[in-house]
Amino acid sequence: MSNNFVLPTPPLPLTPAEEEKLRGRLTGFKTGYDEGYLRGRLAILHGRPEEPLPVRDIHVMYVASGKGYPYSPLDEAAVAALQKLTTRVTVTDVRQNLVELAGADHPDLVIVLDGMDLPLEQINVLRGSGIRTAIWLTDDPYYTDFTLKIVLHYDYVFTLERNCIDFYKGLGCQQVHYLPFGVHREHYHPTTTRSPIQRDISFIGSAYWNRVNFFREILPDLMQYNTVINGIWWDRLPEAPQYGERIEIGKWMSPQETALAYSGSKIVINLHRSHIDEDVNNNSLGIKAVSPNPRTFEIAASGTLQLCDARDDMGNFYKPGEEIETFASPKEMMDKIRFYLTHEEERQEIVLRAYERTLKEHTYTKRLNQLLTIIYG
């Protein structure tokens, strides 16, 4: 890809002050041209309709987690996909009496998101009445001490962590399938006009201790750029007060706010949480996480370059070096930041390839179609 922008040759002679002023103007023209070119290409891809998928003549009861934000956007995405893929969807949550609802509405399939707070006897009654049941686990492997107690109550178990498949099968589950989350295009998409946010680097996420320790090592170098960190618990970072509003503390961002920040950033860092964290995890077996988190797909769908810590299963979703960039250390991350902030064409090539693949393969419509295909063939 080449945007064929050529800086004009300035007239000579110029004073040093005139040269500096002209150089600044030309750099501004080039930056604006590059951004316009990228957003134009993204707009073309964004305008393409999603591949049509078969509509199954089934009635699905979808059971939301009932936990509110940040789970509610996942519910919105799943429901929107199911409404495209089935003839009828009934939406409820774990606080309702599913047995009574099923007795009145007669669903063919009950899909439960998370399911941590759902009374298991209700699932047992539904299964006993011949209704198929499925659970889509949202936080594997971080809470497997809890999920191991509920998975055997379902006909189908879907997990977003590849390393949990054998774990659940070992418990006696007959139908365990790998189904990572995806992206809901109504939530995450590029800003196709000039972005109101202009950042070099963004990180959005909670301050788990592995993230705090990682960033502390390179924070002075990282913050030399126009870098902004958003999320909860960043008061754990002792240096945070030095950077004022550039390190935001204690705020959950909506998907729309997050997508806007992603799209207005040249680079977005994706640093996964650790499977070992005694403060917040309930993973006493220490099951290692190797699969990409939902942010992997959300960042790619927002039209920006993603720098992600290397995970074993990443290559099954994006090609490192072509559709995503990975790092194994803080130093490698900083080296790649320096490279891509000075090599705009290479950055844009990766952005466009990642966005195109995301639209083709990693939407919630594709994920829910995969779930229904597993159950119904």
> Residue 232 belongs to a domain with what CATH number?
3.40.50.2000
My answer on whether 210 and 348 are in the same domain is yes
In a domain, 32, yes or no: no
My answer on whether 229 and 342 are in the same domain is yes
Torsion angle of the four alpha carbons 88, 83, 109, 134, in this order, in degrees rounded to the nearest 10: -170
3-state secondary structure of 262: helix
Q: Is the Cβ–Cβ distance between 275 and 281 less than 8 Å?
A: yes
Residue 154 has pLDDT above 80, yes or no: yes
Please report which residue ranges of 88-142 form alpha helices under DSSP H.
Answer: 98-105, 120-128
My answer on whether 203 and 292 are in the same domain is yes
344-361 helix and 330-340 helix, angle to the nearest 10 degrees: 110
My answer on whether 223 and 351 are in the same domain is yes
Residue 33 has pLDDT above 90, yes or no: no
The predicted pLDDT at position 86 comes to 98
Peptide bond into 141 cis (omega under 30): yes
In a domain, 92, yes or no: yes
For 341-370, the pLDDT digits (tens) are 999 999 999 999 999 999 999 999 999 999
Beta bridge partners of 202: 228, 268
Number of structural domains, the chain?
A: 2
My answer on whether 237 and 293 are in the same domain is yes
For 310-322, the pLDDT digits (tens) are 999 999 999 999 9
Buried b (16+ CB within 10 A) or exposed e, 38-53: bbebbeebbeeeeeee
DSSP H helix total and E strand total for the chain: 12, 11
My answer on whether 147 and 243 are in the same domain is no
The predicted pLDDT at position 338 comes to 98
In a domain, 38, yes or no: no
My answer on whether 357 and 241 are in the same domain is yes
In a domain, 11, yes or no: no
Residue 22 has pLDDT above 60, yes or no: no
My answer on whether 109 and 213 are in the same domain is no
**Residue 24: which of 13, 10, 12, 38 has the closest Cα?**
10
Domain that holds residue 348: 199-361
In a domain, 80, yes or no: yes
Residues 142 and 277: their CA atoms lie apart, in Å, by 9
In a domain, 43, yes or no: no
pTM for the complete prediction? 0.91
The predicted pLDDT at position 16 comes to 76
Question: What CATH number does the domain containing 178 carry?
Answer: 3.40.50.11930
Contacts of 171 (CB under 8 A, 6+ apart): 148, 151, 152
Q: Is 95 exposed, middle or buried (0-12, 13-18, 19+ CB in 10 A)?
A: exposed
344-361 helix and 294-301 helix, angle to the nearest 10 degrees: 120
My answer on whether 178 and 272 are in the same domain is no
Residue 4 has pLDDT above 70, yes or no: no
For 270-291, the pLDDT digits (tens) are 999 999 998 899 999 999 999 9
